[in-house]
Amino acid sequence: MTEATQTTKATKMTAGLTVGDLDKSIRYYAGLGFEVEDRWEADGKLLGVMLRAGEARLGLSQDDWKKGRDRIKGVGMRLWIGVAQDVDGIAARAKSAGVKLDAEPYDTEWGSRAFDVTDPDGFKLTVSTEG
Q: How many domains does the chain have?
A: 1
CA 5 to chain centre: 32
| pLDDT recorded at residue 71 | 83
The confidence band for 130, taking pLDDT boundaries of 50, 70 and 90, is confident
SS3 state at 26: helix
Using H for helix, E for strand and C for coil, what is the string for 57-108? EEEEEECCCCCCCCCCCCCCCEEEEEECCCHHHHHHHHHHCCCCEEEEEEEC
The secondary structure of the chain in percent helix, strand, coil, rounded to multiples of 5, reads: 20, 40, 40
**How many Cβ atoms are within 10 Å of 9's Cβ, its own excluded?**
5
Nearest to 121 by CA among 37, 35, 80, 61: 61
9: in domain: no
Give the domain range for residue 81.
15-63+77-129
Q: What is the CA radius of gyration of the chain?
A: 17
pLDDT at 20 over 60: yes
Report if pTM > 0.75. yes
6: in domain: no
Identify the CATH number of the domain in which residue 105 sits: 3.10.180.10
1: in domain: no
pLDDT in tens, 73-127: 888 889 999 999 999 999 999 999 999 999 999 999 999 999 999 999 999 999 9
3: in domain: no
**CA dist., res. 23 & res. 46, Å (int):** 9
